[in-house]
Structures are given as C-alpha cells and as structure tokens.
Chains A and B, each alone.
Chain A
Amino acid sequence: MATSLNGSRTAAIVARAQALFDDLSFTAARAWKDAAPDRKVIGYMPIYVPRELIHAAGFLPLGILGGGDQLEVIHGDAYYQSYICRIPRSTIELGVSGRLDFVDGMLFPSICDVIRNLSGMWKMMFPHVYVRYFDVPQNYRDDIGGNYYVNELAELRHDLGTLRGKPITDEELNRSIAVYNENRRLVRELYAFRAQRPWQVPAAEAYLMVRAGMVLPVEAHSELIGDYLAAAATEERPRRDNCRIVLTGVFCEQPPLNLIKSLELAGCYVVDDDLLLVTRWLTADVSTDGDPLQNLARAFLHQSESTAAKYEPNLKEKGQHLVRAVRRSGAEGVIFACPSFCDPALLERPMLQHVLNDAGIPHIAFKYAENSGQMQPIREQAGTFSDSIKLWSAT
C-alpha cells in the first residue's frame, strides 16, 4: 500500500515536471510574471549565468534551451544554414513566434560562436529586449580573470538594477546566493542518490526534475526536488541488469527525452551527465559573507565544473573531470552524445576519448539533434555497449 501511495506521489511530481517540460508557451513563467506588477523575466541560454543576480533583482531567471522535438521550426530555418546546429534556429522560432514575448531580457553566455552571434541577432530582431552577451574569464587567477569577472558581474548587476529601477544591494545578493546554494545542494543530492540507486531515479525523471528549474522560481524548484527525493526514496522499483554510464556532450542543445529514455531501455543506467550544468555549475556553496561579487567570482574561478567551453590550462588535468565523474559515480563506461555541428562538444571529444583510453574506460559516441526522432540506431548502439561492458569488462 505504502509503495503504491509513494508511487502515485512520485508520478504526480514527475507529471508536473513533464507538463512544465512540454509547455512551449512557458505558461508557468507567464503566470509568475502576471502575479504581481513590476515582475520581470530574464531568459538565459546554456551553459552558465549567475542566476543569483537575476533573483536578487526580484526577477525570474528563465532557462531557454531551444524548442526540443515538439516545436515545428518554420521561421528559424530561414536564419541558419544547414550546417549550423539546431538550438539557435529553434530559439529564434520561439522568439519570432511570440512564445518569448513576455521575456524582458536575454543573456547569451560565452559558450560558442553560434550562441555568441545569436546575441547580436537578438539585439537586431528584438530591440525592445535587454540583451547581453555574458562573457566569462578564461584566465583563472583572482587578480586577472577574477578582477575582469567581478567587473562584468558589476555591469550586469547595474543593468538589472536599472531594469528594476533600484540598485541591487549586497544583502539582496547574499540572500539570493543562499537560496541558490540550497538549490545546488538539492540537485547534487539528487545526482548522488541516482548514482547510488539509479533504478530508483530513472534518468528521464532526474532530467525532468532538474529541467523544471529552468522555468520555476528557485524556491519552488528546491521544494519540487525535495519532494521528489522523499517520494522516490521510498518507492520500490525493479532493479534491472543494466550497466552504469556517464552521459557527456549534452551541455547545450538538449537531447530529446526519448533519447535519454532509450539509453536506459537499452541497458544503460545514466549515473552522471553534463545536462543543464547551470544548476550545479558551482560545485560548492558560495560564501554569503562579504562582497557577493567577489564570492561569485571566486566560486567561478576555483569551484566550477569543467566543460568544453572552458579552457583547461593544465594539460595533465585535461579530461580528468570525466575520469573523476566515472570513478565517483561508479560508472563502467562513457557515452558521448554530441549535437550535430556542435563545435565545443565535437572538438573536445577526441581529447576526452584519449584520456578515457589511457584510464581504461570504455566509451561510445553518437550525434543527435534536439528533434531527432529515430531512436532505434541509438538504442542498438547503447545496447551493444551495455552488453560489451557486462560481458567483457571483468576480463
């Protein structure tokens, strides 16, 4: 009886997250904005923006991750050649079709040339919207990259304060940092729980839980994850004879939900991934004492995830984050899933593969687009990978 009650509780939480995921009109974010005057919504793209600043202004940070496999791209294709990835064209589609007409600002982080150029396109196409290309340092010394980043943060803080009509104070910012520290802790807890008992937390559910944080206010998102963790922990779910893999390369254009499900159906438990990195980009709590911009900068420089969009100054350290992810999560292999035409993921891939080879970690690779529909080849490839791990890894 307890199981079925918990099961229905988990199902209800997942259904809510699924509804948020499916909603390409961003109804929840619109409702949040309409609930009080002077509320504003600031969109952002992958990989990372300091959402604390947006929150401190009293605004809603809204993650924009393209249109997925349910959005028909009509106008967006007219802006891009066939050899450009899919996320910018579906993002343009969201904009041109009016689905983002309630968004007051857009942040385009420094991830690749396509997203970089999209920032300029957005300025041209939506001149009434606040648009900022958000550059981050590739130099990790506090007195060099740190100073630069603090000044960039100060400029963003100033702009958001201007949008609000009142400067953002240190107290507001420190409060927001605390709220996001809590959110990051919960996301990390979710990842740790999944790594421990992946049959209890299917990859698609974990994804939906984290993805909900792209549209919900952070407080509501933290509550959602807390509820899910409590429900999922007590639910009894069958344990499959799956192998355990780390999924990597999926940090920008999102794989279809069906792709994530297919991996598990094919025999691969996803025990770590680089999906939606913004939710756990900073790997430890950010201090809430002192100068909040300095604290955010220090966290970025010294306690943030490694990914293809970041320069790794130390050759020996290159790719070790992936080896550590494998060891930490008890994974038996790595699946590289890279969006077609994704420069960061595809240029990075050979280097990471070399590191995995040296570490004796098996891996496979394939490409996808956010609207990939045919999962059979991926399922076959992942299934074969899983079989090979189970049959041969011991030898």
Chain B
Amino acid sequence: MTTIVTPKGAPAKQVAKDDSMLKQKEMMAAHYDRLTNAPETGDKVASTFVPGNLNELIMCFGLLNNLPEVNAIQSGLRRQSGAYVLEAEKIGHSEDVCTYVKSDIGMMAKGNIGPNGKRLPDPNVLLLSYTGCFTFMKWFELLREQYKCETIMLHTPYMGDGKITRNMIDYMVKQLKEEVIPTLERVSGVKFDIDRLREYLKKSAAAEEDLVRVLQSAKRKPSPIDAYFGGIYYIGPIFGAFRGTDDAIDYYKFLRAEVEERVAAGKGPVTPDGDMEKEKYRLVVEGPPNYTNFRQFWKMFYDEGAVVVASSYTKVGGVYDFGFRHDPANPLETLAEYCLGVYTNRSLPMRIDMLANYINDYEADGLLINSIKSCNSFSAGQLLIMREVEKRTGKPAAFVESDLVDPRYFSAANIKNRLESYFQMIEQKRAGARAAA
C-alpha cells in the first residue's frame, strides 16, 4: 500500500511512500534510538563501514553497529551536512577530500547529534573493515585520534585480477581469528560463539534471497521498483545494522510481497509524487546518489518517465545477485568472501562486465553515471567505464557530476540539462533503430 506522508515542518508538501519505506524508516529510527540510548542501557558500540560491514560478527558480541557513512547520509538528507563539511574544512581538512569524512568530523565537532536529535555515543571500538575504499583507512585513523579507543584493522585485499584467491581468503580468516575476534571479545567482555555466528548468517542468507528477488523484479516491464532511488530504501536494513536479524527477514519478506503486489497490479515504482505512470526510459546507474538534494534529483528522473532498473550503488554493501549468500557452514570464510566481493572491491574490468550485463539483462536503454567528486573509489576510471559499456552494448551512456553530501557540488540546472539531452539521445537511438528495421 502507498501512503501519503506529510513531512514535519513542511505541511504544504506531501510525499508518497510504500509501506515498506515506512517500515524501513521505523527500523532505522529504532536503531538510532538504541544507539543514542547506549549510555543509559550500557550497550557498547562498534563503528564500522557499510562495505565489509560484519554485522553478524558484531552482534555476536552484543555490540551495536554504528555506521559513519550512514550518519553522513542522514546529515545530507536533513540538509545539515553542508555546515558540517565547512566546519571540518575550518579545522584543517582539505576541500579536496571525501565529504562523508568531513561531514562526520564536522558533526563530531558540533556535538555529534544524530538524526533523532540526540547525541550519538562515542564508539567503544572502531572496526576498520578496509574494503574497497582507501579513504576508510584514513577516516578511522582520524576517528581514533578523536576517540582514542581500540581500533581493529581488517584488511581486505583488492580483486585486481578479478578473482578471489585462496591466499586472500586465508589472510582474511587469519585476521578474523587472531586479531578481530580476540579484540572484540576483549572490548565487549563476551566470549565468541561460532554457533551464534552461524545462526545470524543463516538469517542473513534468508533476507538476501528476498532482496535479490526484489532487485531482480526490475527485469519486468514496467519495473515495479526504482532500483537506485527506491533501492536506497531497500538496502538500508541489510547494509546497516539489521543483516542477520529476524527484523531483516521480516522486512525483506514484507518488501518482496509488496513488490509482487505491484507486479500483479502492473504498477511501476512509487515515487515521492505517487505511482509512476508510464515507464519511458529504463536506465542502469553507476555511482552513488547525491543526498543533499535527493528528492530533487529523483524527480528529474520520474518527471521524464525514467526508471532505474539496476544500479551499482545498491551493491556497495554486498553483491548478492550473482549467487553469493552468507554461508553458515563456513562462517569465517563467508565473511571474507562477502568483504572481497563488494562492488567497490571489484576491479574496473569486473565493474564494466557487471554494468554491461545489467544493461542487457534488464533490457535497459543505457547507462547513466553520477560521478561523485568525493569518491575516487567509484569515480576514477568512470569515463573509461562509460565508453566501454557503450561500445559493448551499443546503448548510449551519459555522465553527470555531483557530490555525496556537499551541497556546493549539486548544480540542479546542469544535471537537468544533461539528463534531458540524454533522454533525447535515447529517443533518437530508438528512432534510428525503428528506421533501420
């Protein structure tokens, strides 16, 4: 069911949301309450990152999972990140570097107030899962300097040759066994129980199965979901603090049923302005979105009848659509394999293969790249990706630029212009194809 929601403080504007979106929002709010209540409840907190997020392992020690990137996203959505970024630049951080980092550091400098208006707790441990992004390493060194708490490095080797080797798995498992787990035991005071981990992993796999069905529903015409803007809601629980929980299983079952209902009714995706009427363009999108103007950015798509049928960003916290599932039979190996396989840890040729395959499998009209100033892990090489995917698929590609959470780098007129030109390009291609036939 689609509900019309009136956001607080903006009575004139009503936003349509699916029930699953409301449910997701409740889950996230509850988690933030758990986090901000930690000083009272005595819960201990582990900060970690979305790519390579070892939520199942963190839960084995009764720790709460805090994700600085998600905090930065929340600040972006709430239009607070601009001031945080400026604050970080004021205290010496370069204008050239990642704005997730600066939003996080600026937020700390201004009292570390979370999206529920309460102070986020200091972490008891920083679990630096160094997966697919160089900046992560520096980010946690910066946080360690601030919090002076225990910091664990879990180094995930990069899949430069497009494969996971035995050496990579052994290296990661050994780090988990001899560095990560003993430190988490010490910090939490909880003894590691591998059977508890297996239970969580089993639950992860169940939720992952439903998530994949949801994402792959976009192969239908019309697509019942938007796999980028809507997809960001869908990945929230599984990329965050809920993977491995009953809540996640329930959420993805619920979401899948909701999407199946949309399919049965022949509906397109829900947008903030209600159900999308006619699907005119099917796109694959590479790169993260802009969060400071998220709805405005989305509107530029659905106003033109453009739906995103597959995206790489919804794979940064795990790539599940090629068959990987967390495997309770091999608990530590599966965590290693999960980290190794996340999108940004994949080589550039692997990313090109993935995007070209999406275009073919989802019968998309082309590739759109939203290149993010802050994120070299994504952005360096995207112009080659664009040309190569165009060459392989024969479908047109386009390139827009913005930033994650820095409002200074969102130029609505520029992006809108480029998108409109791109849609015209797709029309011309179609007309050419019709004429040739």
**B98 and A144 form a contact (CB under 8 A):** no
Could you give, for residues 110-150 of chain A, a 1 whenever the CB lies within 8 Å of some chain B CB and a 0 otherwise? 11111011111101110000001101011101011101100
Could you give, for residues 135-148 of chain B, a 1 whenever the CB lies within 8 Å of some chain A CB and a 0 otherwise? 10111011011001
Q: CB of A9 within 8 A of chain B?
A: no
Residues of A contacting B153 in the complex (Cβ-Cβ under 8 angstroms): 138-139, 311, 313
**In the bound complex, CA of A148 to CA of B336 (Å):** 14
**B96 and A80 form a contact (CB under 8 A):** no
Residues of A contacting B171 in the complex (Cβ-Cβ under 8 angstroms): 137, 139, 144-145, 147-148
Q: Give residues 300-320 of A contacting B (CB, 8 Å).
A: 308-309, 311-313, 315, 318
Query: Contact size class for B?
Result: 35 or more
Q: Give residues 147-185 of B contacting A (CB, 8 Å).
A: 148, 151, 153, 155, 157-158, 160-161, 167-168, 170-171, 174-175, 178-179
* Chain B at the A interface: SS class: helix
Q: CB of A165 within 8 A of chain B?
A: no
CB proximity of A310 to chain B, nearest CB, Å: 9
**A135 and B158 form a contact (CB under 8 A):** yes
Residues of B contacting A144 in the complex (Cβ-Cβ under 8 angstroms): 171, 174-175, 178-179
**B178 and A350 form a contact (CB under 8 A):** no
**A120 and B170 form a contact (CB under 8 A):** no
Q: CB of B373 within 8 A of chain A?
A: yes
**In the bound complex, CA of A345 to CA of B342 (Å):** 26
Residues of A contacting B179 in the complex (Cβ-Cβ under 8 angstroms): 139, 141, 144
Q: CB of B190 within 8 A of chain A?
A: no
Q: CB of B92 within 8 A of chain A?
A: yes
Residues of A contacting B6 in the complex (Cβ-Cβ under 8 angstroms): none
Q: CB of B417 within 8 A of chain A?
A: no
Residues of B contacting A69 in the complex (Cβ-Cβ under 8 angstroms): none
Q: CB of A395 within 8 A of chain B?
A: no
**B347 and A133 form a contact (CB under 8 A):** yes
Residues of B contacting A318 in the complex (Cβ-Cβ under 8 angstroms): 141, 145
**A343 and B98 form a contact (CB under 8 A):** yes
Q: Give residues 131-181 of A contacting B (CB, 8 Å).
A: 132-133, 135, 137-139, 141, 143-145, 147-148, 151-152, 155
**B137 and A120 form a contact (CB under 8 A):** no
CB proximity of A132 to chain B, nearest CB, Å: 7
Nearest residue, chain A, Cβ from B138: A347
Contact A351-B139, Cβ < 8 Å, known A110-B158, A114-B376, A311-B153: no
Nearest residue, chain B, Cβ from A135: B157
Q: CB of A344 within 8 A of chain B?
A: yes
| A117, A123, A135, A348 pick with most chain B CB within 10 angstroms | A117
Q: CB of A349 within 8 A of chain B?
A: yes
Q: Give residues 86-125 of B contacting A (CB, 8 Å).
A: 91-94, 96-98, 101
Contact A311-B161, Cβ < 8 Å, known A81-B371, A120-B347: no
Could you give, for residues 359-375 of chain B, a 1 whenever the CB lies within 8 Å of some chain A CB and a 0 otherwise? 00000000000010100
Q: CB of B260 within 8 A of chain A?
A: no
**In the bound complex, CA of A147 to CA of B175 (Å):** 11
**B158 and A308 form a contact (CB under 8 A):** no
Contact A347-B381, Cβ < 8 Å, known A135-B157, A311-B153, A315-B148: no
Residues of A contacting B93 in the complex (Cβ-Cβ under 8 angstroms): 350
Q: Which of A148, A312, A343 contacts B141 (CB 8 A)?
A: A312
**B167 and A117 form a contact (CB under 8 A):** no
Contact A116-B134, Cβ < 8 Å, known A132-B160, A132-B161, A341-B96: yes
Nearest residue, chain B, Cβ from A125: B384
**B130 and A138 form a contact (CB under 8 A):** yes
Residues of B contacting A287 in the complex (Cβ-Cβ under 8 angstroms): none
**A148 and B157 form a contact (CB under 8 A):** yes
Q: CB of A354 within 8 A of chain B?
A: yes
CB proximity of A43 to chain B, nearest CB, Å: 16
Q: Which of B92, B138, B148, B401 contacts A81 (CB 8 A)?
A: B401
Q: CB of B352 within 8 A of chain A?
A: yes
**A350 and B377 form a contact (CB under 8 A):** no
Nearest residue, chain B, Cβ from A84: B380
**B135 and A79 form a contact (CB under 8 A):** no
**B160 and A344 form a contact (CB under 8 A):** no
Contact A135-B160, Cβ < 8 Å, known A121-B348, A121-B381: yes
**In the bound complex, CA of A206 to CA of B11 (Å):** 68
**In the bound complex, CA of A113 to CA of B401 (Å):** 18
Nearest residue, chain A, Cβ from B91: A350
A-B contact pairs, 13 of them (CB 8 A): A80-B383, A83-B96, A84-B376, A111-B134, A113-B380, A120-B348, A138-B130, A139-B175, A144-B175, A315-B151, A344-B138, A346-B94, A347-B139
Known: A139-B155, A148-B171. 13 other contacts (CB 8 A): A79-B381, A112-B134, A116-B377, A117-B381, A119-B348, A120-B348, A137-B155, A137-B171, A144-B174, A147-B174, A311-B155, A318-B141, A351-B142
6 pairs of A and B residues whose beta carbons are closest in the complex: A120-B348, A133-B160, A347-B138, A148-B171, A138-B155, A346-B94
